[in-house]
Amino acid sequence: MITANPAPEAGTEARTGSTPVRAPRRRKKRQLLPYLLLLPVVVAELLIHIVPMFIGVGMSFLGLTQFFIRNWTKAPGAGLDNYRFVLQFDEASGKALLHSFWTTIQFTVIVLALSWALAMAAAVWTQHAFRGRGLVRTIFLIPYALPVFASVITWSFMLQRDNGMVNHVLVDQLHLTDERPFWLIGDHSFWALIVVEVWRLWPFAFLALTAGMSSIPAEQYEAAAIDGAGVLRSVRFVTLPNLRSVNQVLLLVLFLWTFNEFTVPYTFFGKSAPEQADLISMHIYQNSFVTWNFGTGSAMSVLLLLFLLAVTAVYLLLTRKKDVDA
Amino acid sequence: MRLKRITSAVAVSLVAASLAGCGSNDDSSGSGSGSAEDVTLTYWASNQGTSLANDEEVLKPQLDAFTAQTGIKVDVEVVPWSDLLNRILAATASGEGPDVLNIGNTWSASLQATGALTPFDDATMAQIGGADRFLAGSLAATGAEGQPPTAVPLYSLAYGLYYNKKMFAEAGITEPPSSWEELVEDGKKLTTPDHWGMSIEGGSVSENIHNVFVFSEQQGGSFFDDGGKPTFDTPENVAGIKQYLDLVQEDKITNPSNAEYANGTEALADFASGKSAMVMWQAAAGSLDQLGMDAADIGVAPIPAPTGAEDVASIVAGINLAVFDSTDHKQQALDFVKFMTSTPTQISLNKTYGSLPAVQEAYTDPAFQTEAVETFKGILDDKAVPMPAVAEESQFETLVGTAVKNMLAQAASGTVVTEQAISEQLDAAQQQLGG
């Protein structure tokens, strides 16, 4: 939703900019048409996004448990109780939420850094034509094309302690450790989840960066080469500056996706994730659907929404300033 | 002007749409008012067979027989366990649900509290043949005490200790263990480089909670007091959980890798393939046969209690049948419940699924006079306790089951979980119950 905003705005600006010049007299009539055309989108947007969002916010102020899901209107008002309960950081539930929040932040930062670095390296490598480039690009995109469920389940099989391929290679063939490590539970589960998430996510970043790079004029690289720039210098002074706007959007999208990631941990761990890899979306799921406490689940969701809105706003503000400077 | 009119039209239609979405359960489900002949009931069946398709195959002849008897058609949908509770909750919230449905019997009290299911008061119960027909233990697990149940038992199940007779004989053990201490001792003898004494589904929240609940009952513990208030952190509950964790951390008769078994079949598969000598499981004859285990090697006994403890061997497990309260065809739905709990249907379905009939009369059939069935019926009659019949039952299962899963993971990776640590985890789980 947030990321989709810039495009339609740019479109309407262009259109309204041209109409008054052509027919100033029939301005009123003409102005109606764009709104009429927008109407279906507005209605759909209201029904699909805005209304459920407000219902969600409303729910967070209700004591909505299984006693009342049949008739929401009878649920007692809870005021700020749900929020108070969620934010009691000296109590077990608040501590668990805070822990989950920190885990998610660490997870997001690491996944973002690894995915972007991997995608950037791969995109630079395949930027200039060579034999078999199409094949390499296709192979890189495979994880993105596979259905999430099938690929993540395969990962979880590979990471099983006794029969998994990973331990077979590490322990039986390479003899790196004597003790078979656990990957799906305990401390390692956090890193196992990161590997799977990066594997899922980086092809998208690769795709976006490759598309961005294809629009950089070849002359700039030629000029850089004439000035004696090597690969690293031309990446730094030609590629990266040209990719600024792509990166701005890409990092934001990757951030939002990773922070909200649900499908991957849910498929990977099942209904309850190990403490060490308890991402916030899983945590909220457990607190609303599994324990039937929709009020507190909604309160957590609203807090999460506010946090993501704040991060997005600050990020856009900071990056926009740089655009003006440049 | 026109814009204004359009916006108001939009507003009106939006309001109309949202009203329609909220409150209409009187027209769209079913075929409206008509004679019994053109009534079609929607039935959500749980997954009891080896696959969803298998369930449809098993149910079809029964449903056809029902249609032939009454003229009422039944549209069956087999819902996988992973979706069933969410689907029921969604149906409850919208009022648009099936006419008749299966529920896991541990959800009974929680679903009863929603008010979405038709209560079986005395008059309703009489319509389906009376309460006396059912196994008393199974009927007790259909809702909170003192309220009319909102479901009736359909398939009854209990936990038993499955043991590999061949391995037991090879280790020189002639009898299944009669106390928990004996079980641990046997388990140690049976733990060799080739196999382990016992396998458990240690990553599964529901298996974990069922096991520790039984162990805590053996110790005389309870997770809720008589007033329905949670009492998680008691010495008895701690002891029960410790007994379970010790399989991995102290007795070492369970492979630590079992802590990551979460899909609900792996521990049983280990037992069937000879990687473990014992497993605690609900009626598993059908699955073990499918996994290729020789029937002659399979023995079943009640799960033993520690010496001097209460002789509890299982929870009252099973599947219940309920009528959705917003159905337009209550009478026909009750007819269907009567049919599904009738003796011939009970015999046929439970025989196929390997579960126990929920009605007394069905046990006269020779199919239910085997040693295994008698063991399970004995467990259900005398040694089984229902899960707490409180509205917070689902939360309790999730919170404590997850805590046990995490503690088991810790034990599996070599850190001993002390009684102190268990007590803290239980305390934290109870705090999360409020809110």
* Residues in chain B within 8 Å Cβ distance of A293: 395, 435
Q: Which residues lie below 8 Å from residue B20, measured CB to CB, with a gap of 6+? A: none
- C-beta atoms of A67 and B398 within 8 A: no
Q: Which residue has the tokens 């498929």?
A: A267
Tell if the CB–CB gap between B89 and A185 is shorter than 8 Å.
no
- Which residue of chain A is at minimal alpha-carbon distance from B87? A289
* Residue B405: Cβ within 10 Å count: 27
Residue B208 pLDDT exceeds 80? yes
The Cα–Cα gap between B171 and B298 comes to: 16
**Tokens 């409850």 map to which residue?**
B92
User: What separation in angstroms does the CA of B317 have from each of A324, B105, B208?
Assistant: 67, 7, 14
Q: What are phi and psi of B79, to 5 degrees?
A: -105, 125
Weakest mean pLDDT among A8-17, B254-263, B419-428: A8-17
Contacts of B263 in chain A (CB under 8 A): 270
Residue A20 CB burial class (10 angstroms; 0-12, 13-18, ≥19): exposed
> Nearest CA to A108 among A238, A313, A260?
A260
Which helix (H) or strand (E) covers residue A283, if one does? Answer: helix A280-285
Interface test with A, best of B260, B273, B327, B423 (most A CBs within 10 A): B260
Looking at the complex, does the CB of residue A72 fall below 8 Å from at least one CB of chain B?
A: yes
* Mean pLDDT lowest among A197-206, A264-273, B71-80, B196-205: A264-273
Smallest CA–CA distance, residue B388 to chain A, in Å, is 15
Q: Which amino acid is at B64?
A: D
Residue by residue, pLDDT tens for chain A (326 residues) are 344 444 444 444 444 444 445 555 555 666 888 888 888 888 988 888 888 888 888 888 887 777 777 777 777 777 788 888 888 888 877 888 899 999 999 999 999 999 999 999 999 999 888 899 999 999 999 998 899 899 999 999 999 888 889 999 988 888 888 888 899 888 899 999 999 999 999 999 999 999 999 989 989 999 998 988 888 888 888 999 999 999 999 999 999 999 999 999 998 887 778 888 999 999 888 877 667 778 888 888 999 999 999 999 999 888 875 555 44
* Nearest residue in A to B324, CA atom: A70
Tell which A residues from 23 to 52 touch B, by Cβ distance under 8 Å: 32, 35-36, 39, 43, 46-47, 51
Question: Looking at beta carbons, which residues of chain B come within 8 Å of A266?
Answer: none
pLDDT band at B37 (very low <50, low <70, confident <90, very high): low
Q: Report CB contact under 8 Å: B92, A70.
A: yes
- What confidence tens digit (pLDDT) does each residue in B361-370 have? 999 999 888 8
Answer whether B2 sits within 8 Å of A32, measured CB to CB: yes
- Region B91-118: mean pLDDT is 89
> Please, which residues have CB within 8 angstroms of residue B123's CB and are 6 or more apart in sequence?
none
Q: What is the pLDDT of residues A119-134, one digit of tens each?
A: 999 999 998 888 999 9
Q: Closest to B413 (Cβ–Cβ): which among A66, A95, A182? A: A182
**Res. B33: pLDDT tops 80:** no
In the block, tokens 């209904």 appear at: A271
Mutate to test the interface with A, among B402, B417, B423 (most CBs of A within 10 A): B402
Order the strands of the B276-282 sheet from edge to edge: B196-199, B276-282, B159-164, B298-301
The shortest C-alpha distance from A92 to chain B (Å) reads: 5
The pairing of beta strand B298-301 with beta strand B159-164? antiparallel
Residue B3 has pLDDT above 60, yes or no: no
* Partner-chain contact B93 A51, CB within 8 Å: no
Of A32, A95, A291, the CB nearest to B399: A291
Instruction: Please name the member of A47, A291, A296 whose beta carbon is closest to the beta carbon of B394.
Output: A291
From B3, B205, B412, residue closest to A272, measured CB to CB: B205
Work out the mean pLDDT of chain B and round it to a whole number.
87
Select from B116, B259, B429 the Cβ nearest to the Cβ of A70. B116
Q: Please determine, for residue B98, whether its predicted confidence score (pLDDT) is greater than 60.
A: yes
For residue B435, give the nearest of A32, A36, A293 by CB distance. A293
Pairing assessment for the beta strands B317-323 and B276-282 based on DSSP bridges: unpaired
The tens digit of pLDDT for each residue in B315-339 reads 999 999 999 998 999 999 999 999 9
Q: Report the range of poorest mean pLDDT among A68-77, A304-313, B245-254, B257-266.
A: A68-77
Between chains, do B10 and A67 touch, taking CB under 8 Å as contact? no
Sheet holding B152-157, edge to edge: B73-79, B40-46, B100-104, B317-323, B152-157, B356-357
Name the residue in chain B with its Cα closest to that of A46.
B14
Predicted local distance difference test score (pLDDT) of residue B434:
63
What does residue B155 show for φ and ψ, rounded to 5 degrees?
A: -120, 130
Q: What percent of chain B has pLDDT over 70?
A: 91
Nearest to B435 among A39, A290, A296 (CB): A296
Question: Is the Cβ pair A92, B429 closer than 8 Å?
Answer: yes
- The better pLDDT of the pair B346, A94 is held by B346
CB proximity under 8 Å: A 83-102 to B = 85-86, 91-93, 95-96
Nearest to B29 by CA among B122, B101, B136: B101
* B interface test, pick of A71, A81, A291 with most B CB neighbours within 10 Å: A291
